[in-house]
Amino acid sequence: MSDMPMDVLPEVAAALEVGHPVVALESTVIAHGLSRPQNLEIALRLQTLVRAQGVIPATVAVLGGRVKIGLSENELSHLAEGADVIKMSRRDFPTAIARQLDGATTVSGSMMAADWAGIRVLATGGIGGVHRGDQFDVSADLPELARTPIVVVCSGAKAILNLPATLEWLETHGVPVVGYGVDELPAFYSRSSGLALDLRADNPVEVAELLWAQRKLALSGGLVVAVPPPEQDALPGVEMKAAIEQALAQAQVEAVRGKETTPFLLRQMETLTGGASLRANIALLENNAQVAAHIAVAIAAAGC
C-alpha cells in the first residue's frame, strides 16, 4: 500500500527492512492516560528501555492526518501537550486522515498501524475491555485483538473494567490470553485477579512459538501476553478494590460516558490512592516495554 498516508521513521524502516526487532508503543496512554508533564518523561523512558534491549522503539500516533510509525522528540512532546489531540481507535481513522487531525492511538489504533508497518509486538499498560457499569461499553481494543495479528504485551485489562466479562469476550472471539510467568490474569494495578488462565508462557521463546503456530494456521487476530505489575510497586488488592468502587461511583455521579470513561477513572484512581495507582501504572508500563522487547527479539530470531 504505497499510497498509504503513513510515515515510518527512517530508523524503524531500516530495522524492519533487515528483520531487526521493533516494538510498537501506543500513545493514548501518553496523551490521555497520564498527566503532564510526567507523561512526556515516561514516553521517552519507555523508548529508552526498549532501546536498551537492543530493540528499536516505534511510538505510534497520527499527526496532521498521517499515520506515524516512530516519532521524533518534538512530535512526542506535541502529543504529550495534548491540546487538540484526539483519542483514536479504529473508527476514528477516516476522520483523522480526511481532516488532517492529530491523534493519539489506543491499543486498537496502534495495533492497526503496527500491522500496516509490519511490526509484530506492541507494549501498553492495560488493554481496554468490557466496562463494569455498562456491559455494552466494550473497548475497541477487544475486536481489534480478534482481527489484527499483533502480540499485545500488557498487565491484563485495566482493573476498573469487568475482568471476567473481558476474559469471556476474548475466549468467544478466539483470542489467546497468555499469563507471562503466571497462572492467573493480573489485575493491572495488582498482581492477582483470582481469574485463572489456561495458557502460560515462561519466557520470550515460548511466546514466539505461539505466534509462529498462530501464523502457520493463518489464524486472524492477536495474542494477549499478560504480565503482572512489578511486586514492589503493585497495589494491594484490597486497596485497589476500594478505590475502584469509589471511582466508579464518581463516574456515575458525573455521568461520564464514551471515550472519556477510561481516562476519567484512571485519574480518579490516582487521587483516591494518593498517587500509588500512578506509581503502579508507571512501573508496569516500564516492565511491559522491556518484556515486549525481549519477545520481539525472540520473534525476530524465529523469523515470524
Find the shortest distance in angstroms from Cβ 157 to ligand PSU.
9
* Among 68, 87, 158, 259, the one annotated catalytic: 158
Q: If binding is defined by CB under 5 A, does position 102 make contact with Mn ion? A: no
Q: Are 200 and 182 in contact (CB under 8 A)?
A: yes
Distance (Å, whole) CA 65 – CA 16: 23
Within a 13 Å sphere around the CA of 7, how many CA atoms are in the beta-carbon half?
14
**Interface segment toward ligand PSU; rule CB under 6 A; list 36-44, 70-78, 138-146, 268-276:** 138-146
Which partner from the list Mn ion, ligand PSU, none does 126 bind, CB cut-off 5 to 8 Å by kind?
Answer: ligand PSU
254 as an active site residue: the answer is no
SS3 assignment, position 164: helix
The only residue of 39, 262, 273, 277 in contact with ligand PSU, by rule CB under 6 A:
262
Distance (Å, whole) CA 31 – CA 110: 13
Which partner from the list Mn ion, ligand PSU, none does 132 bind, CB cut-off 5 to 8 Å by kind?
Answer: none
Q: If binding is defined by CB under 6 A, does position 107 make contact with ligand PSU? A: yes
26 as an active site residue: the answer is yes
Find the shortest distance in angstroms from Cβ 137 to Mn ion.
5
Q: If binding is defined by CB under 6 A, does position 50 make contact with ligand PSU? A: no
- Residue number of the CB closest to Mn ion reads 137
- CB nearer to Mn ion: pick between 115 and 137: 137
Residues in region 133-152 near Mn ion by CB under 5 A: 137
Residue among 259, 193, 191, 198 nearest 224 (CA): 198
Q: List all residues 6 or more positions away from 302 whose beta carbon is below 8 Å from its beta carbon.
A: 205, 208, 209, 211, 212
Find the shortest distance in angstroms from Cβ 139 to Mn ion.
5
Buried b vs exposed e over 294-303: b needs ≥16 C-beta within 10 Å? bbbbbbbeee
- CB nearer to Mn ion: pick between 102 and 137: 137
* Among 26, 144, 270, 286, the one annotated catalytic: 26
The only residue of 9, 12, 22, 33 in contact with ligand PSU, by rule CB under 6 A:
33
Q: Cell triple for residue 284?
A: 508496569
Distance (Å, whole) CA 102 – CA 107: 16
Which partner from the list Mn ion, ligand PSU, none does 294 bind, CB cut-off 5 to 8 Å by kind?
Answer: none
For 78, phi and psi rounded to 5 degrees? -60, -45
Find the shortest distance in angstroms from Cβ 19 to ligand PSU.
27
* Neighbour-count burial of 257, counting CB atoms closer than 10 A to its CB (0-12 exposed, 13-18 middle, 19+ buried): exposed
CA–CA–CA angle 201, 282, 52 (5° rounding): 65
Within a 13 Å sphere around the CA of 244, how many CA atoms are in the beta-carbon half?
21
Q: If binding is defined by CB under 6 A, does position 124 make contact with ligand PSU? A: yes
Amino acid at 115: D
In the shown chain, the binding pattern of residues 266 to 295 toward ligand PSU, with x for contact by CB under 6 A and - for none, equals x--------------x---x----------
* Residues forming the site for Mn ion (CB under 5 A): 137
Which positions are catalytic? 26, 158
* Residues forming the site for ligand PSU (CB under 6 A): 26, 28-29, 32-33, 106-108, 124-126, 128, 139-141, 259, 262, 266, 281, 285
